[in-house]
Amino acid sequence: MRQRLAALLAPIKSAIIATVFGATALAGCSAEIEERGYIYDQRDFDQIQEGITSEAEITALLGSPSTTASIDGKVWYYISSTFEKLMFYTPEEIDRKVVAIYFDETKTVEEVGYYGLEDGVIVDFRTRKTPTRGKKLTVLGQIFGNLGRFNQNAPAQ
């Protein structure tokens, strides 16, 4: 009887073990969400009144900014990013919120700007090249593009 019961339970054991391994593998594939930077809460920013709220009140309400304008310091930026990491891959930024608070000369809020990931421009710092507008010319394009162009104001010899 025991042998027969063991023979009946053997496929069930295999199915349970396969299910556990499958669930473990799927758990490793799940995405990990990570928040970085300022902890964004729209209710805090709704309390800001243009023309009334001062720098001191902003600091008390929101804390110190993520960064400020480097030239005159009249703009404070609060930056929040959300990253998604799938297994061992490099984390990918899936959401970004940037709130720019502009101050006037009297240190009161002049304007509040809201920007997102779609407003940003990606600059690749590793290659140290910034994409520019205009057309790229090959060597042949440069050579043949200059045919017929010469300095018409040059003195004749």
pLDDT digits (tens, 9 = 90+) for 128-153: 666 667 677 777 877 777 776 666 66
**Average pLDDT for 43-48:** 91
Q: Higher pLDDT residue, 125 or 102? A: 102
Cross-strand bridge partners of residue 95? 82
d(CA 53, CA 107): 9
Q: Which residues contact residue 9 at a Cβ distance below 8 angstroms, ignoring those fewer than 6 apart?
A: none
**Residue 57 pLDDT greater than 60, yes or no:** yes
pLDDT digits (tens, 9 = 90+) for 11-21: 776 667 767 66
**Average pLDDT for 94-110:** 91
Q: Work out the mean pLDDT of the chain and round it to a whole number.
A: 80
Q: Higher pLDDT residue, 91 or 139? A: 91
Q: Which residues contact residue 28 at a Cβ distance below 8 angstroms, ignoring those fewer than 6 apart?
A: 87
Q: Which residues contact residue 147 at a Cβ distance below 8 angstroms, ignoring those fewer than 6 apart?
A: none
Query: What are the sequence ranges of the domains in the chain?
Result: 31-131
Asked if residues 114 and 97 have their Cβ atoms less than 8 Å apart, the reply is yes
**Residue 83 pLDDT greater than 60, yes or no:** yes
Q: Residue 70's pLDDT is what?
A: 77
Q: Which two tokens stand for residue 99?
A: 């709130």
**Residue 8 pLDDT greater than 80, yes or no:** no
